Structure 1
Amino acid sequence: MPLNLTEIERVKTITREDFYNNYVKKQRPVVIEKLTQDWPAYHKWKLEYIKEVAGEKTVPLYDDRPVSHKDGFNEAHAKMKMADYIDLLRSKPTNYRIFLYNLIKEVPSLKDDFRWPDIGLKLVKQLPMLFFGGENSKVFIHYDIDYSNILHFHFHGKKRCILFAPDQTPYLYKVPHALISREDIDFDNPDLEKWPALQYAHGLVADLEHGEMLYMPEGYWHYMKYVTPGFSISLRAFPRKISNLSRAVYNLLIMRYFDNMMRRYKGQAWIDHKNEQAVIRTHKNLNIPV
């Protein structure tokens, strides 16, 4: 059964004042369709171009395997030359993704292809992260550890983005001591008999085309699916809310280290315990029989 999703609002262009007052201050997502059309990247950023300028770089790859106690925090599952990876993307569907990778640090010439948008957010210029994925590859639903406001630009193809506001967390089977939901939930077509809390969740959806930008406010859950092979870049701004800044500091300095320590100490039993608690806590809070 499908999720309860509403299309994210779209605009062609927007002024700095309108974006800040109507979306950043109100913490509302929006898609801006033509923000990149004066960037060199709008015309250049295709997979072939990335292969040309970064083909010899060795890149970290992630797939859709569930979290294991053997994995470190955001530890890559494999590595490959960028040229070979792009050949793989173009030849067939693959679950391998590049996740949160600062390719621009490795290939500084890419900095000349995009513009830091003057859009009312103070962007962190050290962190222009890139993401790549093959046809039908998915990014588990999660929210970002630092609670950033995110400008997410997509290139080459189509990408489906499903968002949930932070106030929808009680319905999403959040895993304790983590930033994710249960990884065995299919957010394309969830089983609402198995995961009944999801029927109460109200989400948002957008299909991003080449050059379009999605604004994701701080703390928003996001699930991504590459409808076709493609890649994206995220520009980030620190959280505006003091409460979210405090949560970010806790996540970065305490939560992730505690979770890694427990994985080393208890192994897979810790992962299994957290997954079980995700169901127990969600159903208990909503008075759903466990």
Structure 2
Amino acid sequence: MNPRAAALRTGLRRGLIEFRHQWTNRDDLVGQLFWTVTTLGALLFMRGDTLPGTSFSLGASNVPGVLGAGIVLNGLSGMAGFLTVDREDGTLLRAKATPNGMLGYLVGKMTSVSLMQVAGMAVTLIPGLFLFSGLATGGAWSWLTLLWVLVLGLAATLPLGAALGSLTTSSRSMAFIMLPVFGLGAISGIFYPVTALPVWVQDIAQVFPMYWLGLGMRSALLPDSAVVVEIGQSWRPWATLGVLAAWAVIGLVLAPILLRRMARRESGSSVAARRERALQRA
């Protein structure tokens, strides 16, 4: 078998194993359940309010935005976090020492994170369909739109997460990734219409994928009447496709370059030094 094909196959198998461990581990399940219950509880408090100019529930309108934000959070911070932890404990060094090991490692991580994201979305969306009326009224078209937005969203965020993870030096530096992501969440129309913000803030939000993922999810799950609170009163599917595809290309170009640079700097002494610093902090 071709070495690269073998690495891809090994990576896929590794990703499936990691995903199975994630969803059979009690602590991980409790964390996922806590996040889901907290999110749905917050949305239920908004159920009595309506979108400006419509009779549609504000809580229901925020379900798609939460799903879009989850893709960004898992794709960027989740992927970067895995790389940072595996770099500190020597996993990346072992992958580097194996023929095509980095390729297999990255395929495995992208597979596991993608599956975790799909499962996490299902855990939030399925109860949401019962708790909030008016979601996914477009039938098969709603689910097809949801699918392409999800696939393109993962393609736009996972490589970027890998690139950001290659730049971090320790788990403590993850704050430099998390804080900007949360900041984008505050201006991307996740919990209120982005048109309520100043125009210059709207312009900034539209540069990054979180806004477009939220918009794509809203176009898939919300009725047409909810479009009145969007920019230009349009779902802008082609713009959503174009921006997410552009970010996917940027990530796929940057990630290999930065990961090769990171791999070249990995050595037994660097791993030992990081472990020593971690022990001193503990």
> TM-score scaled to structure 1, two decimals?
0.27
> TM-score scaled to structure 2, two decimals?
0.28
Larger Rg computed on CA atoms: 2
Structure number with higher helix proportion? 2
Structure number with higher strand proportion? 1
